[in-house]
């Protein structure tokens, strides 16, 4: 069974991913060994609180370790406009009862990698600062990780700039360390995540439930949909992080191509861009990353909605 360590910046789409994962964990489809959080969509204190709160709401007992407050070199850019001041669509949930783990995110990654060498799958849905710090501390960590599924980057598009995606752009130095580490990485970038979204029409089954859990889901989904509408004129909830979570369980949801990928650190217009070499020869370096280029969007959307409905109906 997959032994999973998610690294998150919860965040609305992170929250949807966590609920999906908790349902899979309860059904014995994977084992979530712990969870690390980092500053990203909101400050790290809030991402930790949100992460613990979601695990609590889903009834799974997962230790959450607090990680980096800010990127390796530069200040953090949070996204309250997209995720709300509380990171969860201004739902302002009561604080969780459980406290964060007393180990740091780096320690949790290290400890689990030693406890389960070659068996640990990392899922990252956030800036890669925590993993980069761990790799800087001990580069041999890479050899103990089975694989990492990373939501971030893009081949043909960006979101925070024309060419850069938020998780990579928030800490490009960290992303470069991780991408160059030798870990077997699947990059779930915007090329595939922009193909998986819900519009209001897709939410009918949730609307029909009418309980507190369904209302919470609708509130956060509609909040982020409104933010996308203001930004792009298209009202929809893009399911970035849930897709990466689902790929951990069902890798055949996406088609990948192994490419040389590196992260631009210094371009005036391109900092944070994932530079993907698809020329079929590799003058830039070895093919180091499996880049997702196609996704079975319908299968994924049904799978995710079924999982969320399952959780909501149990409330």
Q: Which residues are catalytic?
A: 240
Q: Which does residue 89 bind out of ligand RIB, Ca ion, none, counting CB within 5 to 8 angstroms by kind?
A: none
Q: Does 125 help bind Ca ion (rule: CB under 5 A)? A: yes
Q: Which does residue 165 bind out of ligand RIB, Ca ion, none, counting CB within 5 to 8 angstroms by kind?
A: ligand RIB
Per-residue contact string for residues 241-270; x = within reach of Ca ion by CB under 5 A: x-----------------------------
User: What's the angle, vertex CA 168, arms to CA 32 and CA 104, rounded to 5?
Assistant: 45
User: In terms of Cα–Cα distance, which of 93, 103, 125 is closest to 216?
Assistant: 93
The span of 50-58, 155-163, 176-184, 234-242 binding Ca ion (CB under 5 A) equals 234-242
Least distance between ligand RIB and beta carbon 231 (Å): 12
Least distance between ligand RIB and beta carbon 152 (Å): 7
Between β-strands 35-37 and 2-8, what pairing exists: parallel, antiparallel or unpaired?
parallel
Q: Which does residue 124 bind out of Ca ion, ligand RIB, none, counting CB within 5 to 8 angstroms by kind?
A: none
- DSSP, collapsed to helix, strand or coil, labels residue 62 as coil
Q: How many residues are listed for the chain in this entry?
A: 315
Q: Does 158 help bind Ca ion (rule: CB under 5 A)? A: no
CA distance 306 to 236: 19
Tokens standing for residue 204: 């009918």
User: Binding residues for ligand RIB, per CB under 6 A?
Assistant: 9, 11, 13-14, 40-41, 125, 151, 159, 165-167, 240-241
Q: Does 11 help bind Ca ion (rule: CB under 5 A)? A: yes
61 touches 52 (CB < 8 A): no
Per-residue contact string for residues 79-118; x = within reach of Ca ion by CB under 5 A: ----------------------------------------
Q: Report the Cα 117 to chain-centroid distance in Å.
A: 23
Q: Provide the 8-state DSSP code for 121.
A: E
Q: Does 14 help bind Ca ion (rule: CB under 5 A)? A: yes
Q: Which does residue 87 bind out of ligand RIB, Ca ion, none, counting CB within 5 to 8 angstroms by kind?
A: none
CA distance 167 to 150: 9
Return all residues near 280 (Cβ < 8 A) that are at least 6 apart: none
Tokens standing for residue 168: 């990579």
- DSSP, collapsed to helix, strand or coil, labels residue 29 as coil
End-to-end C-alpha distance for the chain, whole angstroms:
27
Q: Closer to ligand RIB at the Cβ: 166 or 187? A: 166
Q: Which does residue 171 bind out of ligand RIB, Ca ion, none, counting CB within 5 to 8 angstroms by kind?
A: none
Least distance between Ca ion and beta carbon 14 (Å): 4
CA distance 213 to 218: 9
- 81 burial via Cβ count (<10 Å: 0-12, 13-18, 19+): exposed
Chain position whose Cβ is nearest to ligand RIB: 166
Least distance between ligand RIB and beta carbon 286 (Å): 26
Least distance between ligand RIB and beta carbon 114 (Å): 28
Least distance between ligand RIB and beta carbon 39 (Å): 11
Return all residues near 208 (Cβ < 8 A) that are at least 6 apart: none
Q: Closer to Ca ion at the Cβ: 195 or 257? A: 195
Question: What residues line the site for Ca ion (CB under 5 A)?
Answer: 9, 11, 14, 125-126, 241
């Amino acid at each position: 069974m997959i032994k999973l360590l998610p690294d998150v910046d919860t965040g609305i789409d992170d929250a949807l991913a966590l609920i999906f994962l908790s349902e899979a964990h309860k059904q014995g489809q994977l084992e979530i060994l712990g969870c690390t959080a980092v500053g990203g969509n909101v400050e790290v204190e809030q991402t930790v609180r949100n992460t613990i709160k979601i695990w609590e709401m889903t009834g799974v007992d997962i230790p959450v370790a607090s990680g980096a407050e800010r990127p390796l070199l530069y200040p953090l850019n949070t996204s309250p406009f997209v995720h709300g001041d509380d990171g969860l669509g201004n739902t302002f949930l009561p604080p969780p009862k459980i406290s964060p783990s007393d180990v740091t995110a780096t320690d949790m990654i290290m400890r689990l990698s030693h406890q389960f060498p070659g068996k640990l799958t990392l899922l990252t849905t956030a800036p890669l600062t925590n993993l980069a710090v761990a790799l800087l501390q001990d580069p041999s960590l890479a050899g103990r990780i089975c694989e990492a599924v990373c939501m971030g980057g893009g081949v043909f598009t960006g979101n925070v700039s024309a060419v850069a995606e938020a998780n990579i752009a928030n800490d490009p130095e960290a992303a470069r360390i991780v991408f160059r580490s030798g870990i077997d990485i699947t990059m779930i970038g915007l090329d595939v995540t922009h193909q998986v979204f819900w519009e209001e029409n897709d939410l009918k089954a949730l609307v029909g439930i009418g309980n507190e859990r369904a209302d919470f889901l609708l509130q956060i989904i509609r909040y982020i949909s409104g933010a996308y509408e203001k930004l792009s004129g298209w009202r929809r909830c893009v399911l970035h992080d849930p897709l990466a979570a689902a790929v951990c369980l069902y890798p055949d949801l996406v088609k990948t191509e192994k490419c040389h990928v590196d992260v631009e650190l210094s371009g005036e217009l391109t900092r944070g861009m994932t530079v993907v070499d698809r020329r079929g020869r590799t003058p830039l370096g070895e093919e180091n990353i499996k880049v997702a280029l196609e996704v079975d969007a319908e299968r994924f959307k049904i799978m995710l909605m079924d999982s969320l409905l399952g959780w909501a109906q149990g409330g």
